Structure 1
Amino acid sequence: MPTPFSADRRRFLSCSLVAMPALAAVPAFAAGDNARALDLLARAAALYQRRGDAALPAFQRGGAFDEAGLYVYVLGADGVLKASGGPSEVFIGQDVRGHRDREGGAYIATVLERARADAPTSLNYRWTNRRTGQDETKTVHFRRVGEAVIVVSQMIDRATATEARAWLARAVKALEQRGPAVLAEFNDVNGAFVQDDLYVFAIGANDMVMHAHGTQPRLVGRNVTYLKDANRHFIGREMVRRAKVGEVVETRYVWLNPVTRHKEPKTTFVQRVGQLVLAVGYYGA
């Protein structure tokens, strides 16, 4: 029976000289980083070749493949994210083929298509650098290993307080202009309100229900009255109690950082809009 990666490889390879950029032509990595990325990819692919899914814990944040500025993630042939050492780990277990870059390109789907070839290759796509506000080129190197694709990516910087405040202001404006319909966009991982570790969540001021969450859909629809942080503080109650109309209020607590995998201080800015409390946070002391 043919597998997802076994369909007409000869036809694919015949067009790959046009479809796939050569490794030497990929400009987004500096020369040293490009060499590091390719070395990391070779080592990760070799480990997965030997151990299969038993190797997945090594690719998580804090594992043996945790390197400065780079991280590994693993895709199944079905588009399900199997492991990640970067911000995308919040999507582990989900089909991520629909994820798109800043120009609307389905870059994950493209990676899977190009990975039908057995040789390592690369892909450039456009992503927003929050430090500059400019769309820049981001590079991934990848190769197929059996029915999985091993990917090495550049790490995106974490959000700042200024960025989190600006993100909240945009969300408040959108809710005021469009009403509850905007909640669907807050929940859309490909939408305008989810970017790396910046996302919006919304709690009902009266029902204490999570009505939107940009990275943890399992929380949507749940009552968060008893939601606690690492120090056992009732953070849902605190946010709703302190939130005000027309004013941004800070709340601070300790929460698991999905990038570092450590429990860290987190500051979240909250503002009430009608019967909803909107919130956007960042990690740092």
Structure 2
Amino acid sequence: MNILKLIVIGCVLSSVFSSVALRAEDSSAVNVLDITEPHVASDAEKRAKTLLAKAVIHVQTEGEESVKDFMSAPEYVDEELYVFALGIDGVFLASGGSSMVLVGDSVLGTQDVYGKPFFREMITKAVRDGYGEVKYNWTNPTDRMGEPKTTFFERVGAVIVAVGYHPERSGAAEAKRLLAKAMKAMVESEQESIDEFNDPEGNFIEGDLYVFVMDMNSGKFLAHGASPELVGRSHDEILSPDNKPILTELLTLAKENGRGVHTYQWLNPQSNKVETKHTFYRVLDNKLVAVGYYVKSNLS
């Protein structure tokens, strides 16, 4: 690789990581109830962005036809990560991984395991913004099926270059951060926030994390990110898979202390298995606002 390429790649990588740092700084600016955690990029996320930057430079310097190199050149594969490319017309052009079976096909109608047309979303964002990310649920050929995947992409002419990775399971830090974000939104506009919490494509769905809200007086759901059909249902109508009145218990705890964490069994919408859920909750204006994260249990 010549000196000019190395300089350009260095500038792109510097820009990528600077933008990541700025977004992390923005997300950590929320000070609601002192529960905000800054975003820390995982190793897989960093490697995906680095690989994408390298691939984008390759297409920029060698031309759109060079996407074929992603099919065979080892420098465009990093362990489980690989580069793929598609045209803005929806035709899949190249892949260094298992998705190579799609090469030559139109993927405009391709959906993830939950019916989301994520390639179409990717194309729309790429045409509009030039770059971005899309989240969906896809088969991980290594050891998982139908789990969350995040793909970063950038448009180069009529080509979209992309690298995706399967994030690690969300944990306590991510749940606390989403709860802080939800609390801030509730303070700014309660009804708008509740509407967005109920949107399965909204900004408050992050992998297996989502927000739910209950009215402390009526004990009814006002919002539920994973199952909006629960809105309007009462706490005493719903039991956990192991037949415990977990929502009644949660409301009782919230009335006693206003904030805390409650542990119970619940269906993880991503794995479609019953798992142990640790839910952080806060009370705001007589509303219980909560976000929980999952860990595998013996009932799975």
TM-score (norm 2): 0.51
Computed over aligned residues only, the root mean square deviation of the Cα atoms, in angstroms, reads: 4.3
Aligned pair in 2 of structure 1 residues 32, 93: CA closer, same or farther (>3 Å)?
closer
In the alignment, which residue of structure 2 is the partner of 1:193? 204
In the alignment, which residue of structure 2 is the partner of 1:22? 67
Contact 1:244 1:271 in 2 (8 A): no
2:99 aligned residue (25, 33, 41): 41
Q: Deviations over 1:79-138 (max 9, x none)?
A: 7x4x52xxxxxxx2567788xxxxxxx316579x9xxxxxxxxx974369xxxxxxx963
SS in 2 for 1:198: coil
Q: Deviations over 1:172-193 (max 9, x none)?
A: 2321232333211222334332
- Counterpart residue identity of residue 122, structure 2: Y
SS in 1 for 2:217: coil
Aligned pair in 2 of structure 1 residues 263, 170: CA closer, same or farther (>3 Å)?
same
In the alignment, which residue of structure 1 is the partner of 2:152? 138
Residues 1-285 of structure 1 correspond to what in structure 2 (within 5 A)? 22=67, 24=69, 30=78, 33-34=81-82, 38=96, 40-41=98-99, 77=109, 81=111, 84=113, 92-93=114-115, 106-107=121-122, 125-126=132-133, 138=152, 154-244=165-255, 247-284=258-295
Return 5+ residue gaps in structure 2 as ranges.
1-62, 85-94, 136-149, 154-162
In the alignment, which residue of structure 2 is the partner of 1:147? none
The alpha carbon displacement at 1:279 in A equals 0.7
Higher helix residue share: 2
Distance 2:199 2:131 in 1: 23
In the alignment, which residue of structure 2 is the partner of 1:70? none
Distance 1:206 1:21 in 2: 62
The alpha carbon displacement at 1:32 in A equals 5.3
- Percent of aligned positions that are identical: 26
Higher-Rg structure is: 2
More contact order relative to length (CA 8 Å, sep ≥ 6): 1
Q: Deviations over 1:144-163 (max 9, x none)?
A: xxxxxxxx953222211122
The alpha carbon displacement at 1:247 in A equals 3.9
TM-score (norm 1): 0.54
Distance 2:197 2:79 in 1: 38
The alpha carbon displacement at 1:251 in A equals 0.7
The alpha carbon displacement at 1:245 in A equals 8.6
The alpha carbon displacement at 1:23 in A equals 5.3
